[in-house]
Structure 1
Amino acid sequence: MAKRRRKTASSLTALLPPCRGPKLQPFQPQDASIKWGPRLDKSHAHSDSQGYVFQAEIASRQYAIKVFKFYHPDIEKFYWETYLGKSYPIERAIFYTDPFYAECRAYGRIKQACDERRVTARIATRCHGYLFLTTEDMNFLERQEGIDLCTSIIDENLRRALGGDLRARAIVKDLEIDTTRLQKKSIDQAWRNVSLLNSLGIYNQDIRTENFMNCRIVDFGSSWTEPHAILDKADKVDADEAREQRLSDCAQFDEMVEQEGIKTTKKTPTSRHNLRPRKKSWWLD
C-alpha cells in the first residue's frame, strides 16, 4: 500500500448536489491523508463502469472508497432531452444523470430517513460522505493502478457544469466483508431492504447479486432518488414509463432470483402488474 500526503484543501461544507432534493455531506476531514490499498472491484470491472473501488485507510480506519470517472451529460443527451427538453442546461442535467450525484442523492435520503427515525435498521452499506481527490492522489492512482478517470471528456461545457472544479470525486463507505450470501434464508431480508429503499423514493436500478453484501445494496451509482427532474417530467409525459421506473427494482429483483435459482415465496409488485418488456436501460452499466 502507498500513502499519499494530501495538501490542505479549502474548507468544504456544501452538501451535494446543489439542487432540489436530498444531499450528501462532505467526508471529514477533507484534507486527511489517504493510504491507498488494493482495488476491490477488479473481478467485476469493465470498460463502461462508473468508477473504481479501493480499500483505503484514513486516520487508522479502513474504508471502501469509490472513485468516480468524469461523466458528461451529453453522452446520454438523447434520453434526458426527451423529458427535459433541448433547452435544458447540462449544468442542471448533470445533477440527475451523473453517477456521483446519483449516489449523493441516494445516501442523502438514507441519512435523512435514519435521522428522522423512519428507518432504524441498516438497509444499505453505510456512507460517510463525499471526498474530492487531490491532484497527487489522482496522479498516483492513474500511474500506479493504471485507471482512467476519463479526463479526456472534459470540455468547456462540462467544466462549467462542474463549477470549474476538476478534482476527481469519491464516496467514502464502510469496508464490508460479505458474510451473508444471497440464498433462500437471506433473500427475504434483501428484498425488505430494497422495498424500504423504494418506499423512501430511492430506485436503485441496478439490482444484481454483485450489488449486495450482507443483504444490503452497496452501490447507488445508477439510482434515481425523488424528487428527480426526469422522473417528475415522465409523470406528465409518459405515466407508464414513470411507473416502470418505480417498479424496475421489483422486476430486476425477480430476474436476479430466477437467474440464481433461489427459491423464495416473496411476492413483488411485478407479480400484480403487467410491465412492458424491459429494454436495457441507458443508465445501467
Structure 2
Amino acid sequence: MYPDWPKSVADLAPLPLCDGPKLKPFMFRGPQRIEFLEYVGEGSHAHVFKVRIQEKIYALKLFRFVYDDDWLIPTDDTDDDIQTMSALYNYAEPFSCECRAFGRIQEAGLENLAIRCFGYLLLDEEHERTMMNQFSHLELEFNGNMDEPGLEEVRSRFPGKDGRDPPIRGIVKEFGQCAEGLTAPLARKLLKDIKSLQGLGIINMDVAHRQVVSGRLSDFSTAITVRHFVTSPELNPNLNPDEISAMEFETFQLSSNDYWAFDAMVRKWNWENKRKITVYAFPGGDGCQIKYNLRSKRPTLPSRWRFYTFVDPREGQGVSKKRKPARWYYECDDMAARRLNRKGGFSAFHEWEFKDGYIYPRRRA
C-alpha cells in the first residue's frame, strides 16, 4: 500500500498512484543528503523539522503511519485487504491527500495560494537513524497519531517487496513564519485564497490559524481534491441515483464546512485576543439559508431549505481575475437541513466500500 523503497531515482514516480493530480519527487543533486537543524513540532498526521538541503533551508514534514480511523476507511473490517486499502489510500490517506492538493496547485500554476512545496521524498534508512538519534529525547513515534501514538504497529502491516517496513514519507516545503497574528487584511486574503483553492477543486482544508504560515495555508493532509471518490460519481459507472445524491450532499457539506471553519477561526481569534475582526465568509459568521415552506399548499410535502456555499469544487476550473465563481445553491428537506444548519463542526455522513474495483458510499450506522 505504501511507497516501496526505491532502488534508483527512476523508481521515484509522481505520487499518489491514482488518476488525478500528483506530486513529483524532490530532486537531490546526487545521493540524499539532509541536515536536521531543529524539531519544529507535530500535528495529528506528521512531525515537522527545519532542515538544510543543498545549502538551502526547508521545512520537512515527515508523515506518520496513521491509524485507519484517522482517514476515510471502508465500512467492513478489511484491515488486511491490500487491494481495498490501496484503493482508498491513494485518495484519502493524509500523505496522499497532501500530494494531490499540492499537485493540483502546481499544475494550475497558482503556487501563491499556499506555502510553496518542492516535492516529496522517501527518507532513507541512514537519515532515519540520524533523525531518531538526534531527537531521541523527544521519543518520536511514527505509528499512529499525535493523541495516542504507538498503540498499533501500523507501518509494518504492509511491508515492501523485500519484506522491509516501508520508508517514512515526507514533503519538502518552504520554511516560513508561523506566529503571525490574525488581522483583517490577512483574514480577507485567506478567505479569497480558500475560494480560489476550492475553485481548483480542493476542499476539506482544515482551515485554522495554526496552519497559516507566512500568510498562506500550509497543511492539506485532510484535503479532498477533485476527481475523488467523494466528489466524482463519474469514477464509478455503477452508482445508482441515491448514491450519486449522497455524494453530492457530502461534497456540499465539506465545501461549506471550509467557510464555517474560517468563521470559527475569526471568532476564536477575536475571543482570545479581545479583537473585533469582522471579516466573515457568511453574514455575521452564522451561515445563510432560505426556507421554502410548501406545506401551505401541499400539506403532505416537507418544507424545503435552500443553502449556499461559494464555489462548486466539482467544476475544478480555477478562479481567475476575470471569472468569479458562481455560488453553489443546494435545496434539501428538513432532515438534511438539520445537518447543514449547524453552527460549526462536521462529521462525515458516509463510509466508503470498495467492491469489484469501484468505491461506493454507504450511510453510517
Q: C-alpha offsets along residues 75-117 of structure 1, whole Å, 9 cap, x if unaligned?
A: 358x54259x999711111112211111100000000110xxx
Q: CA deviation at 1:251?
A: 1.0
Q: C-alpha offsets along residues 205-250 of structure 1, whole Å, 9 cap, x if unaligned?
A: 3111011123210111111111111333564434322210122211
User: Structure 2: 5+ residue runs without aligned partners?
Assistant: 1-5, 144-149, 234-242, 271-275, 290-306, 308-336, 349-365
Q: Could you tell me the percent identity over the aligned residues?
A: 27
Q: Residue 113 of structure 2 contacts residue 193 of structure 2 at CA under 8 Å; is this kept in 1?
A: yes
Q: Out of 272, 288, 297, which is 1:271 matched to?
A: 288
Q: Residue 187 of structure 2 contacts residue 279 of structure 2 at CA under 8 Å; is this kept in 1?
A: no
Q: Residue 201 of structure 1 contacts residue 225 of structure 1 at CA under 8 Å; is this kept in 2?
A: yes
How many pairs does the alignment contain? 260
Q: How does 1:196-211 map to 2 (within 5 A)?
A: 196-211=196-211
The CA RMSD measured in Å over matched residues stands at 3.1
**Which amino acid is 1:149 matched to?**
F
User: Structure 1: 5+ residue runs without aligned partners?
Assistant: 1-7
Following the alignment from structure 2 to structure 1, what is the Cα–Cα distance between the partners of residues 132 and 218? 24
Q: CA deviation at 1:203?
A: 1.2
In the alignment, structure 1 residue 71 sits paired with structure 2 residue 72: no
Following the alignment from structure 2 to structure 1, what is the Cα–Cα distance between the partners of residues 278 and 232? 34
Q: Out of 141, 147, 155, which is 2:140 matched to?
A: 147
TM-score w.r.t. length of structure 1: 0.80
Equivalent position SS for 1:228 = coil
Q: How does 1:154-173 map to 2 (within 5 A)?
A: 154-156=155-157, 158-159=158-159, 166-173=166-173
**Structure 1 residue aligned with 2:123:** 133
Tell me: higher relative CO, structure 1 or 2? Use CA pairs within 8 A at least 6 residues apart. Answer: 1
Following the alignment from structure 2 to structure 1, what is the Cα–Cα distance between the partners of residues 164 and 107? 29
Following the alignment from structure 1 to structure 2, what is the Cα–Cα distance between the partners of residues 148 and 205? 25
Q: How does 1:247-266 map to 2 (within 5 A)?
A: 247-261=256-270, 262-266=276-280
**Structure 1 residue aligned with 2:56:** 61
Q: C-alpha offsets along residues 2-56 of structure 1, whole Å, 9 cap, x if unaligned?
A: xxxxxx9611441100101100000001733100011112xxx46xx11100000
Q: How does 1:235-250 map to 2 (within 5 A)?
A: 235-250=244-259
**Structure 2 residue aligned with 1:3:** none
Q: Residue 9 of structure 1 contacts residue 31 of structure 1 at CA under 8 Å; is this kept in 2?
A: no
**Structure 2 residue aligned with 1:28:** 27
Equivalent position SS for 1:138 = helix
Q: Residue 205 of structure 2 contacts residue 219 of structure 2 at CA under 8 Å; is this kept in 1?
A: no
**Which amino acid is 2:58 matched to?**
Y
**Which amino acid is 2:155 matched to?**
I
TM-score w.r.t. length of structure 2: 0.63
Following the alignment from structure 2 to structure 1, what is the Cα–Cα distance between the partners of residues 215 and 288? 22
Q: CA deviation at 1:280?
A: 5.1
Equivalent position SS for 1:239 = helix
Following the alignment from structure 1 to structure 2, what is the Cα–Cα distance between the partners of residues 112 and 238? 26
